[in-house]
Structure 1
Amino acid sequence: MNQENVGIKTPEFVSLQFQLAGLGSRTAAFIIDQLILTVINILIVIALLFYMNGMSFFYMLEMNSLPIAIAIILIFLINWGYFFIFEFFSGGKTIGKKIIGIRVIQENGHSITLLSSFIRNLLRIIDSLPANYFLGLIMIFFHSKHKRIGDLVAGTIVVHEQKTKQAKKQTAIKKEIAQRGLTKEGSNFEEWGINSLGSKEWHLLKTYSNRFVHLPLEERGEVTREIAAILLLKIGIIIEGKSIRELENILLTLYLVMKDEWEFDL
């Protein structure tokens, strides 16, 4: 029987528990993604037909099959690049995965890397053999961690994304963040900086944020400087010359950004 949950001990010695995404949820996400890609492919073909319809017969002979070749290459790049780009730049989630509520992560619990995303999606060619993604579906069904060949080589797993139910605990900090007018959309953190932070940093930042409103002002200032020295310097933000209020705002904004990546139902 396939196991539905997997425990991961990260390099920072933090234990995480994830619910694996099985064949049903992965297939549903894939179907949604394929429907999106099918619409895009049809639009490209229609554009090609309109383009060639406006040519004279002799001009089409001179052009040979160049427009068709360009369309085929464009379709291939879009169909492959869609998964690669979305999974890396959207935290392991294509549009289909986001709708279904699953995501791709590293086996160590970290976010998917550029190389891992490239490898697992390059190997879609093999997983799709002999037709209709047959080999990939068989692998996902029988593998203990629901992995296809791309996942095996890239060292990735697909898990359900379930937010923790901490509405009451989060109410105070959410109000504080709202009062300060902070949003993750207003952040300007570098991508490499966010990717360099792991589960250890997330748990530290989460603990700080949850205790934030309950700390006395003097103690909160000391804790803020300590946390800022650990986290902000690691992502390239200079803390010297910044007031406590500024550091608090940066840390709370960082909390909002990392929350989407790391807050699972553990």
Structure 2
Amino acid sequence: MNQEQMEIKTPEYVSIQFQVAGLGSRAAAFIIDQILLNIVNLLVLIVVWLIMEGMSPLPFFFFEDTLPLAITIIVLFIINWGYFFAFEFFSGGRTIGKKLIGIRVIQENGHSITLLSSFIRNLMRMIDTLPTAYFLGIIMVFFHSKHKRLGDLVAGTIVVHERKAKRKKRLTPIEKEIASRGILKDDLIIDEWTFKAFTEKDWKLMNTYAGRFTQLPLVEKNQLTRQIAEILFPKIGQNVLGKSEQELEDTLLVLYLNLREEWEFEI
């Protein structure tokens, strides 16, 4: 089945195109994730077996007290379910398998997956696995027009291919300015919770600022820098007071690099 293009209109009335991930890429990502989980499951069972061998003369699967076995089953369930839930929310809709294949889970409106959506989507995974080997999920992904399984339908999510930012042969004026200052994206570490506080409106503000940065007279540039810093700095836990114009500019340019990676897509 051919991969399809899907156009999403954001609440800001901006149209963004995504390439929907089909059964093949989703299955490949899942296989990678499952191999990793199987390794972890095996390690857990080995540890439990070693502990039980030391505590009981009976073989592991014949000990009288069923509490350790029940705890082991609960722990394995939490690991196998929590892996997908945690990675998809805290890693921008990407498990390790999805990251390697180049796909991610997003909301139907184009925004990053929310905590509730990740919870619902992965809770429904138990139904998608029925009757065995993800049969229901595979059938739905194959026949659904947007390659959704039941969890995606209920949670309002969709799996799409990662989209790279445009790569230009020639550096733009702002890229030259950033390079001349030796500024790197990693100069400002933004955790996932903080990053989710930024909206498309914030990106448009930063993009406009970066586009005009090298063109504005010094006085106007300083005024604009301080105004934007007062708007965005609280979101990254920084204070405008006591910072020089150079420090404000450098921090905003680093923030621009971070936001650009998320919001500047190749349409």
AA in 1 matched with 2:24: G
The 1:143–1:169 alpha-carbon spacing in structure 2 relative to 1, beyond 3 Å, is farther
Residues in 2 aligned to 1:63 and 1:247: alpha-carbon distance in whole angstroms: 66
The alignment's TM-score, normalised by the length of structure 1, stands at 0.87
What is the aligned partner in structure 2 of residue 57 from structure 1? 57
Deviation at 1:259, TM superposition (A): 2.9
The 1:242–1:41 alpha-carbon spacing in structure 2 relative to 1, beyond 3 Å, is same
Query: Counterpart of 1:167 in 2: which secondary structure?
Result: coil
Residue correspondence of structure 1 range 57-136 to structure 2 within 5 A: 57=57, 64-136=65-137
Residues in 2 aligned to 1:234 and 1:58: alpha-carbon distance in whole angstroms: 57
AA in 2 matched with 1:243: S
AA in 2 matched with 1:256: L
Unaligned residue ranges in structure 1 (runs of 5+): none
What is the aligned partner in structure 1 of residue 6 from structure 2? 6
What is the aligned partner in structure 2 of residue 22 from structure 1? 22
Deviation at 1:53, TM superposition (A): 1.9
Residues in 1 aligned to 2:151 and 2:217: alpha-carbon distance in whole angstroms: 51
What is the aligned partner in structure 2 of residue 221 from structure 1? 222
The alignment's TM-score, normalised by the length of structure 2, stands at 0.87
Asked if 2 retains the 8 angstrom alpha-carbon contact of 1:20 and 1:160, the reply is: yes
The 1:2–1:160 alpha-carbon spacing in structure 2 relative to 1, beyond 3 Å, is same
Deviation at 1:148, TM superposition (A): 1.0
Unaligned residue ranges in structure 2 (runs of 5+): none
The 1:28–1:248 alpha-carbon spacing in structure 2 relative to 1, beyond 3 Å, is same
Deviation at 1:122, TM superposition (A): 0.9
The 1:253–1:12 alpha-carbon spacing in structure 2 relative to 1, beyond 3 Å, is same
AA in 2 matched with 1:49: W
Asked if 2 retains the 8 angstrom alpha-carbon contact of 1:170 and 1:210, the reply is: no
- Size of the aligned set, in residue pairs, is 266
Identity %: 62
Residues in 1 aligned to 2:17 and 2:96: alpha-carbon distance in whole angstroms: 24
Residues in 1 aligned to 2:67 and 2:180: alpha-carbon distance in whole angstroms: 58
Alignment partner of 1:265 is 2:237: no
Query: Counterpart of 1:32 in 2: which secondary structure?
Result: helix
Query: Counterpart of 2:93 in 1: which secondary structure?
Result: coil
AA in 1 matched with 2:73: I
Residues in 2 aligned to 1:74 and 1:258: alpha-carbon distance in whole angstroms: 37
What is the aligned partner in structure 2 of residue 245 from structure 1? 246
The 1:57–1:104 alpha-carbon spacing in structure 2 relative to 1, beyond 3 Å, is same
Root mean square deviation of aligned Cα: 2.7
Larger RCO: 1 or 2 (CA < 8 Å, sep 6+): 1
